[in-house]
């Protein structure tokens, strides 16, 4: 595949994608040296503890557009065959995007996603931590306004390019999300999570539904698990929604 890279980051009202909202999204397209940055009115109050982290207040977003308006511009910015890269993407940013698109009834483009944190953990296992700011220090990148989306995106771009060196990003993607025989094997029990070790037939259907809503079955390494739940009748083949 030959894809354009877009580095992106989100700031939110909290940590739970199913109930919290995005208040800022930023992105950088190095191939065209273009930046995207937008504050978003989440339609709810920003908790003080969230503002303490990213410094975005209710007053700052009061006159900002909602996600539906911002999403259209973001889609245009990321048009084409694109890989979106974020640090801790697979456990955070992409879930917020999916929930926001779903909540606003806007089809989310079929972007590819890459989690730079997974690459750092796998190929820099010598490091005690893999946070964006720790990696910034390790690679000698100048300090920034940490936790504001665009600043984090700029730092991420510099870090990621240093980490992968001259490895083509397509190869990096394949190494992170390689569809090995083990990952495609049909499991007999839950391989992870709070029901780890429980036979699949005994996993609560509401938990399977939660996994579907949070994009767990969209990850390449979980295709075998998805197939097993479809076979059990817990999922529909069309959209991985749970059956009633």
- Catalytically active residues are 147
- What whole-number distance in Å separates Cα of residue 240 and Cα of residue 19? 21
Sheet containing 82-86: give its strands across: 34-39, 22-29, 4-12, 82-86, 112-115
Question: To which residue do tokens 């295709």 refer?
Answer: 223
- What whole-number distance in Å separates Cα of residue 197 and Cα of residue 203? 10
77: phi then psi, degrees, rounded to nearest 5: -65, -35
Tokens read off for 148: 């504001």
DSSP state of 54: H
DSSP state of 90: G
Distances (CA, A) of 82 to 76, 103, 110, 190, 198: 11, 23, 9, 32, 37
Distances (CA, A) of 92 to 37, 95, 203: 19, 6, 24
Say which residues have a Cβ less than 8 Å from residue 163's Cβ, sequence separation at least 6: 116, 119, 120, 123, 124, 135, 139
């Amino acid at each position: 595949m030959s894809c354009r890279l877009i580095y992106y980051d989100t700031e939110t009202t909290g940590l739970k994608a199913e109930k919290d909202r995005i208040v800022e999204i930023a992105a950088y397209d190095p191939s065209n040296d273009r930046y995207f940055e937008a504050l978003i009115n989440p339609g709810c109050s920003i908790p003080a503890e969230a503002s303490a982290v990213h410094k975005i207040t209710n007053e700052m977003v009061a006159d900002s557009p909602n996600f539906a308006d911002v999403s259209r511009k973001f889609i245009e910015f990321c048009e084409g065959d694109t890989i979106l890269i974020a640090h801790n993407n697979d456990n955070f940013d992409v879930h917020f995007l999916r929930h926001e698109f779903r909540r606003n009834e806007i089809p989310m483009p079929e972007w590819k996603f890459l989690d730079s944190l997974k690459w750092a953990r796998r190929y820099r296992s010598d490091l005690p931590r893999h946070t964006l700011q720790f990696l910034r220090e390790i690679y000698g990148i100048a300090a920034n306004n940490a936790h504001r989306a665009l600043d984090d995106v700029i730092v991420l771009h510099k870090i990621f390019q240093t980490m992968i060196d001259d490895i083509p990003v397509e190869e990096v993607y394949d190494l992170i999300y390689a569809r090995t025989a083990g990952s495609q094997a049909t499991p007999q029990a839950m391989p992870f999570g709070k029901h780890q070790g429980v036979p699949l037939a005994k996993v609560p259907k509401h938990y399977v539904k939660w996994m579907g809503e949070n994009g767990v079955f969209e990850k390449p390494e979980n295709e075998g698990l998805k197939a097993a739940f479809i076979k059990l009748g817990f999922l529909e083949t069309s959209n991985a929604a749970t059956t009633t």
